[in-house]
Amino acid sequence: MFTSIAIIGRPNVGKSTLFNKLTNSRDAIVSDFPGLTKDRNYGFLEFKDNIRALLVDTGGIAKDSDEIKEAISNQAWIAVEESEVVLFLLDGSESLSNLDLEIISKLRKLNKQYITILNKIDKKSDGLIKEDLKKKGVESYLEISAEHSTNLNKIKLELEKKSTKAEIEFPEGKKVAILGRPNAGKSTFINNLINEDRLIVSEIAGTTIDAISVPFIFNDEEFILIDTAGIRKGYKRNHKVEYFSFVRTMHAIDKSDIVIFICDIDDGVVDQDMKILNMIIDNGKPVLFALNKVDLVSKKELKTKYLTKKMQSEFLSNIEQVEISALNKKGFNRVFKLTKKIIKKSKRNFTTSMLNKLLEKFITINPPPSISGRQIKFKHVHFGGIHPTTFIIHSNQDKKIPKNYRKYLENSFRTELDLKSIQLKIIFRKSDNPYEGKKNKLSERQVKKRKRLIKHIKKSKK
């Protein structure tokens, strides 16, 4: 189940606060000043069994002749049209406004599944919003306080009921999503790989607008290549077709075993490339960085491209890189050799004994620092899952472990286990004290001794 869920409502009803709480992030700016959210914000809502949904925070819907406010409202309705379920947020401390009624009417006309949510129930109010909703035929609603995280679990339960189990269907095989900016050569790469003009190729950027799956056999191995629409800069503000393409791309990443990110070497690595790579990493999927159109640059120019600040960054140094020419079919064998290797590594399970030996080795080389006079003690580590590869370390501290030491452990595990291109997540958990909450019951002899000591202290004070 991978769905798109939109949060809508008029300005300052708590949409961004709810978005941050549901996604466990601070991606949306929260303020008492109304209308602060301008573009759509995206995040992931986690359900049980590692199921995730794409959650969209929208700007407040306002009835105003102001051009900017009208554009913000239009963006919110685009998100509604392309979402499977809508969270309609109301201020529970106020009465129902005319704008709220208009939103309800439009949602009904669009025939959308929506959950009515009354926020700010922690505020004392004389508002008659519940009675107003019943008059308008809204019998069921959830009451929450996003700021104080009250009843947020009820939203997840309701979403699980309403969300369909439909998924993007792919044939059998290793699923490889092809990502990149528009016109980076993604469709050309697939067409020349399968020797078939399956996908439309044009010099005009943005020809592909949907995620298209192509079954393919390479060296007797079955693959499913998923060509996606290029994610442009400003996709949050653009036409709803581009927004829908973005959602479908997120679906493709979620279902893939690996992502091949294609970058136009002529343009070099730009900020938008880094943003797309961050999306892939946030999904926990392994990534292969393919530099396309190397036939268009000289060896000297290619060397200069590698010396740029972004290419030299630690971010890209942790990702396998390969040079290709999609048009001339150069580098295809190496791409699939690396793809198979990375997929195999990303699905590898690690034994507890192996991880504990490595942890012991790392802390012997570089012992953990003391925090407020207390030595950090790592008790044991175990494997926690894949996509991303997760290690759980139990210690006497969790939140106070310095960032530089966390990074040291991550880099050490990555190097020792050859996890280049694999997303690695290390979770620190504070071990429970087995004696916490247990009262130390004194024996009869200890009780008598305690009484004698107390009596002696009282006498000495006199």
Domains 174-345 and 348-462 share a fold: no
Q: CA 8, CA 326: separation in Å to the nearest integer?
A: 43
Provide the pLDDT for residue 231: 58
pLDDT band at 342 (very low <50, low <70, confident <90, very high): very high
pLDDT at 437: 66
Instruction: Give the model's pLDDT for residue 398.
Output: 82
pLDDT at 209 over 90: no
pLDDT average, residue stretch 160-172: 59
Cα 46 to Cα 43: distance, rounded to the nearest angstrom = 10
Question: Taking the domain 348-462, which CATH number applies?
Answer: 3.30.300.20
**Cα gap 310→63, rounded to integer Å:** 44
Average pLDDT over residues 407-417: 95
More confident residue, 420 or 219: 420
Stretch 52-61: mean pLDDT, rounded? 81
> How much is the average pLDDT of 416-444?
83
Packing angle of the helix pair 271-282, 240-255 (nearest 10 deg)? 50
Q: Residue 168: pLDDT above 50?
A: no
22-47 as b/e: b if 16+ CB within 10 A: bbeeeebebeeeebebbebbbbbbeb
pLDDT, tens only, 391-404 = 999 998 888 899 99
| Lowest-confidence segment of 124-128, 192-196, 203-207, 241-245 by average pLDDT | 203-207
User: What is the mean pLDDT of the segment spanning 212-241?
Assistant: 65
Question: What does each C-alpha distance from 407 to 330, 370, 402, 410, 411 come to in angstroms?
Answer: 37, 17, 9, 5, 6
Quick check: 421 and 318 in contact, CB under 8 A? yes
Question: From the DSSP assignment, how many helices (H) and strands (E) are in the chain?
Answer: 14, 17
Residue 352: pLDDT over 90: yes
Cα–Cα distance, 338 to 328 (Å, whole number): 19
Return left, alpha or beta for 149; rule: phi > 0 is left, psi -120 to 50 is alpha, else beta.
left
d(CA 215, CA 226) in angstroms, rounded, equals 9
Q: Which of 22-26, 34-38, 277-281, 411-415 has the lowest mean pLDDT?
A: 34-38
Domain 174-345 sits in CATH at: 3.40.50.300
Instruction: Give the whole-angstrom CA distance, residue 59 versus residue 76.
Output: 6
Q: Of 75-89, 190-204, 253-267, where does the model show the most confidence?
A: 253-267
Q: Which pLDDT value is given to residue 202?
A: 36
pLDDT given at position 208: 37
With 80 as the cut, is the pLDDT of residue 412 above it? yes
Report the alpha-carbon distance of residue 293 to residue 272 in Å, rounded: 18
Domain spanning 4-162, CATH class: alpha beta
Mean per-residue pLDDT, 25-52 = 59
| pLDDT > 60? residue 201 | no
434 confidence band (pLDDT: 50, 70, 90): low
Enter the DSSP assignment of 95. P
Query: In this predicted structure, what is the pLDDT of residue 207?
Result: 36
Please report the DSSP string for 102-164 in residue order: HHHHHHHHTT-EEEEEEE-TTS-----HHHHHHHTT----EE-BTTTTBTHHHHHHHHHHHS-
pLDDT greater than 50 at residue 204: no
- The pLDDT score that the predictor gives to residue 67 is 63
CA separation for the pair 117, 155 (Å, rounded) = 9
pLDDT tens, position by position, 257-302:
999 999 988 888 888 888 888 888 888 999 999 999 998 888 888 8
For residue 242, the model assigns a pLDDT of: 56
pLDDT, position 40: 58
**Per-residue pLDDT reduced to its tens digit, 301-335:** 888 888 888 888 888 889 999 999 988 989 988 99
Q: Chain-wide mean pLDDT for the chain?
A: 81
Q: Where are the domains of the chain?
A: 4-162, 174-345, 348-462
Is residue 170 classed exposed, middle or buried when 0-12, 13-18 and 19+ CB atoms within 10 A define those classes?
Answer: middle
What would the mean pLDDT of 34-45 be, rounded to a whole number? 59
Place of tokens 């106070």: 400
Q: Can you name the residues that pair with 176 across neighbouring β-strands?
A: 225, 258
CA distance 286 to 281: 7
